[in-house]
Structure 1
Amino acid sequence: MTPKLLLGLILLTGFSIPLFARSSYTGYSHAPGRQTCAVSCHGNSSGTVTLDGFPLTYTPGQSYTITLGHSAGNSIRNFNGSCRVGTGTTNAGQITAGTATATYSVSGETNGVHLSSNSQNTASFSWTAPAAGTGTVRLYVAAYQGSNTNGQTTALTLIADEEVAALPELVLLDWQFSGDDDGDGIAEPGETLVLTASLENVGAGSASSVELAVSTDFEWITVLNGISTFPDLLPGQSASADFPFQLQISPDCPAISTADLALQITSAEFQGSDQILLDIGQRLPFWAADGEGDVVDWQMPTVGDWLNDWHLSTEDSMSPTHAWKCGDSDIGEYAAHADARLITPPILLQNWTRLSFMHRMDAEISGASPDSAYDGGVVEISLDDGASWIQLEPIEGYNKVFRWLTGGGNPATHPFTGGTPCYSGLFDWQPASFDLGDYTDQVVRFAFHFGSDDGTQLEGWYVDDLQLSGFDDGVAVSHRIEDPAEFTLLEAWPNPFNPTTSIGFHTLEAGPVRLSVYNMAGQLVRSLLDGPCEAGFQQSQFDGTGLASGVYLLRLETRSSLQTRRILLMK
């Protein structure tokens, strides 16, 4: 939490009189903008001294320009400005108008200045806000009367009193929706959702008049009730909204989509924002890999004289004992001059597929420019069996970019184009996810592409628990059946499977039926049934022993209909 501080003004005449009543809200000033000092401040009855530049709130350590002037344009003569802890009126230092350098006569002072001129109508100086936790700090601005530049001839001094204020900080603690029409816990097109949320005050001050507002630019959602209040929150307290929010999803909304809900969190003392990503529809896993079973058709090619040290490792993992690692096979470092891809088997994507995995990394970044990397990795997709690659953008975003040049100004020696976003630096196990809606029904390969320069090497990149989930929008049917019970190919169970799965189907009438399994190249793998079949529910077993891991197609045929489903063999 960034500390905020408040400003106030008092006149010193032997006792203090508030010029502005203090609000009950901390962290805000009633003295921003232009303030005036009484006429007697400078001994000229034709106007007032003006003081401009105090911020409403300030950030510790930030500089602000304070301007002194005279409302009638008269000469200011002399002014003092000092910032110090505690009390006192001694001049902190001196600066001549028109120069940019101040000298200080009071030990420890760095913000105060003494402006000196006999014919100056306005003067400015830079005031640096004190560090957080300093306590009570005062800025003194004193006027001198007439032509006497040697001493103060008025008892009035304008003071801005800064106080470290305890402010609240409100964060979204939890949210959930209910009220979906069919009660399946999934937000779906055509449904009206009831959204509840809770906030927590993680700041140091109390929050009053707390509100949360929900809005969205997602064209398929209408916000029916978008504002709710909350109880006042003391530091460390949390509470649920007094009233739920209501969202209407259009019946025309895509079956699988994600809506970005914008949250505005406010109180009398705080303003903040957050967001909720609301998934509409349900993605179901259809492919997964954790490095514990069969890894047939995973590839780790080498390119020219570049090195590739991807391998299955037991050094670290998310589940249970293995993870893919680009790095040393023991406890050493990854190779220098690496252009290393770990390539998955070919996979047929479903509608609105999402790729997710867990990963951690320790790779070299620039010490001088920590947002840039000498070594790192990206995720890619290929639509032509690895002949070419397209870099994918994670939902969460990459955390670095590859450097163009080395620290000495020479071209960087990693294999990537400078400016390419990437994963790099040091981070522990964390999730990553990628939306693949643009690649529906395409057979693809993914690559985890790591590159390093010829300099420093570190531990490397670990990847584990890969999963593809998507929306299987039913079965492919050659023509519409008025009664789906006439002819239905059911979902195989289990799916994914290893090595066997059970396949059920239903026919209303007896007749010839053919149930077959094909690979993604369209080749017949197994014929499970080919002959007459009784009406009603039937079941068959498929044993994938001897087959490679991957996606296969079930194909059910009768005289008049054809249906297919995908199954995934994982070893």
Structure 2
Amino acid sequence: MSDYVVTGMMMAPVGPTFTEQRDALLAAMAAADPTDFAAAATAFARRGAGTCAVGPSRDSVTFTGVMEDFEVRPLGVIAAAAVDDLTMSCDQDGVVDVGEPGVLNVNIDNLGGGDLMGAQLEVTASSPSVTFAGETKLALDSLAPRDSLSLQFPFELPEALAGVENVTFTVTMTTPGGCTSETVRELAVVLNGDPMAASSSLDDVEAADSLWTKEGNGGAALWSRAGNASSGKGWHADNADVTSNTWLTSPAMQVAADQPLKISFDHAYFFDSSADQEANVLAWDGGVVEISADKGKTWDDLSKFGDPGYTGMIASSDNPLSNRPGYVLVSPSYPLLDHVEVDLGTAFAGQEIELRFRLGTDFATGAPGWDIDNIGFSGVTNTPFPGWVADPGDCVGAVPTTSEGSDTSSSTDAPDSPSGEPDSGTTLPQAGSDDGCACRSDAGGGWRGAGLLALAGLLRRRRRVA
């Protein structure tokens, strides 16, 4: 038991909530012994910390929103969704074009302690140009605790499609008996397009090469490109548990002489904070946006020229951004991204400017950090970022070639489901049937097959308020 406790504490985030620590301990047990996992999940439930329990936030002093749960239940989540052209690709660029069969890959996890039964999954596309090759609404097979399920939904595009198509795929899962009756995940993708260098003033952060520069004390380590909850890949900055002052700087942008300059971006953030004895929430870490018109020699806060929607004051004297307004605490839609647009007017008309996103942290506890995506400049004359142009149509009428490696997630091999017959009382086809709906493959044991990740926990230390 002591091994479970130590491993669970190492796997938990720094300063975990009650439910985060519970989940880390259960994950450690599930990886080692499913019987011990089931016994511990039941024990937690007897004490009100069942699968659907809601604990207080790490900064709560009132326990508002706490909800007990005395049951062990399933917890179905849409763990991942992705589109690829790997089944039979003509140009091997990862983008589904006209003439290439596409696949929407969906991974389902059961993170709860009970069997996930009676769940249904439906996929839709925002564009009528997307035609799915089979069923788009499935009755899922029963999924044991900590197990995973992979599904593939083939689709194609019409030969008459001439331009780039921006499509949002929506995956909806209903889970009777779970913590929520419905879970929705959206995936925005580009179809029938090829990237073109230096053709846009908006950076969607999807291109392999970036024009942004990571700078500051530890900038190269703290800033990286990673997936986010809303729009594919974006920039991510870790809210480190050490004092840091880092930033992400744009390439030079030439502002038009006769147009207002507007800056836009999507972002989500979760920065370190805590409450004092008077229940005042103190923001230890946070981020700001700055602009320079002298090639980076001096920088002004963007709030001097427009309203970036800052949410509070950074309060730690150990933070390089102490006593400055900025983005602090948790963004309204976290982990989903919120849109920001700042109108700077003609303050920089005719000048060359650079923009930077700057993150400041202090020396103690960390947090998830800052996600930034879809950074746009309006009222500029240069287009340094890669954009999208319509695919030339080379695949239309050609015979595509199968990608190397037959074990990709888009494989249409027959599943190992026992029957493929619908459950009694429903007309929905089973995930795992061989009637062309969607192909099923077990993901190899889910959490039970996952290695244990040891995350070093640091003791929270007293900090000085600026």
Normalising by the residue count of structure 2, what TM-score does the alignment of the two structures yield? 0.38
Q: Rg larger in 1 or in 2?
A: 1
Larger strand proportion of the pair: 1
Larger helix proportion of the pair: 2
Structure number with the bigger relative contact order (C-alpha 8 A, sep ≥ 6) is 2
